[in-house]
Amino acid sequence: MTDPAPKTMRAAVVHNPGGPSALTLEDRPIPTPSEGWVLIRIKAFGLNRSEMFTRQGASPGVSFPRILGIEAAGIVAAAPGGEFQKDDIVATIVGGMGRAFDGGYAEYTCVPAKQVQVVEAEGIGWDILGAVPEMVHTAWGALFSSLQLKKGERLLVRGGSSSVGLAATAIAKHQGAFVVSTTRSESRADLLRQSGADDVLIDHGTLADEARKRYPEGFDKVLELVGVATLGDSLKATKKHGIVCLCGIVGGKWVLAECDPLFLIPSGVFLTTFASFADPFSAGPINTVARALKDGKMHIPIKTFKLDQIVQAHAEMDESSAAAKIVILTE
């Protein structure tokens, strides 16, 4: 006789915005998927800084209580529309998760089928599968869709010790670029080199002058993860006909006030962006990077916690002390 299907799940819920302790573990009913939606039994999910901002009440349009989480990896429990088979191993990201509807900080989540992808998982642990979806989608899209990075080009990763920065460094190096990564702390220079950086610059808020001393021609491509706080300086470090991609807000500043584009953007330098919610989710890069991590061909540090350690994990994200992609394992 088989065990009856569970009716409740553990979930980390935010009732009112606040610090890490605003996350409380509760028993919630397992959601029921309608046609066009998929119920996923979550095995792992990564933490993202956008979730910190949502927890703090800084994400527009989010109502509480809310189960946060813009990504998850797990096993299909039900797909009424027939898009997936039961027990398919899948990943899902964004598309309203953790904002418009409850997200991945739970043992189950229910999401639109269009934002779910089957992933190759043979021999790959849930720590890796939980780490890669949003991180790799963002890093890969920024590097190859927005920056159009090519083998042999010189890339600057501004904000290199963030999880996306570490992933971008590893991916770009694996694809044959010369990678220079930045950190505010000299103690993290070895971490960046272990992920593939050929050189490391210590970022005190401005580094264009130092960068030009080492690389007088400037950088072919710049991935700006700190955000608008350092965007102007990054543009100055870019060579003529080079591209800068704004793809993060690690610096905590959202808006570039009183922007004069003629002053901000050097002549002949191109500025673009990458937003993970605006680019189609594809399993290809996820599979490529997950397999490379498993086989030791790429290195991106991962730090795991259990679901009942979610407050501690968020505290480390707030403090930027993990020096790794933080992943929550549900079992």
pLDDT of residue 276: 84
The string over 301-310, giving b where at least 16 C-beta atoms fall within 10 Å of a residue's C-beta and e elsewhere, is bbbbbebeeb
Q: Is residue 293 very low, low, confident or very high in pLDDT (cuts 50, 70, 90)? A: very high
Q: In the block, which residue shows the tokens 């979550």?
A: 42
Residue count of the chain, please give it. 331
pLDDT of residue 52: 96
Note whether 113 and 36 are within 8 A (CB): yes
**Residue 2 pLDDT exceeds 60:** no
CA distances (Å), origin 277, targets 73, 185, 271: 17, 31, 19
pLDDT of residue 3: 59
pLDDT of residue 131: 98
Spatial CA neighbour of 276 closest among 247, 243, 317 = 247
**Residue 328 pLDDT exceeds 60:** yes
Q: Could you tell me what percent of the chain has a pLDDT over 90?
A: 87
Q: What pTM was computed for the model?
A: 0.94
pLDDT of residue 254: 65
What pLDDT, in 10s, does the model give residues 61-80?
999 999 999 999 999 999 99
pLDDT of residue 1: 45
Distance CA 307, CA 300 (A): 22
Question: What single DSSP character describes residue 58?
Answer: -
Distance CA 226, CA 266 (A): 19
What pLDDT, in 10s, does the model give residues 86-130?
999 999 999 999 999 999 999 999 999 999 999 999 999 999 999
pLDDT averaged over every residue in the chain: 94
Query: What dihedral do alpha carbons 259, 265, 271, 274 form, nearest 10°?
Result: -40
Please provide residue 38's backbone torsions phi and psi, each rounded to the nearest 5 degrees.
-130, 135
Distance CA 236, CA 217 (A): 11
> Which helix (H) or strand (E) covers residue 48, if one does?
none
Q: Is 206 left (phi over 0), alpha (psi -120 to 50) or beta?
A: beta
Spatial CA neighbour of 188 closest among 210, 215, 162, 212 = 162
CA distances (Å), origin 181, targets 169, 185, 213, 245, 303: 7, 12, 16, 15, 21
Distance CA 23, CA 105 (A): 10
Beta-carbon contacts of 134 under 8 Å, excluding residues fewer than 6 positions away, are 46, 48, 70, 71, 93, 94, 276
**Residue 257 pLDDT exceeds 70:** yes
Distance CA 256, CA 228 (A): 6
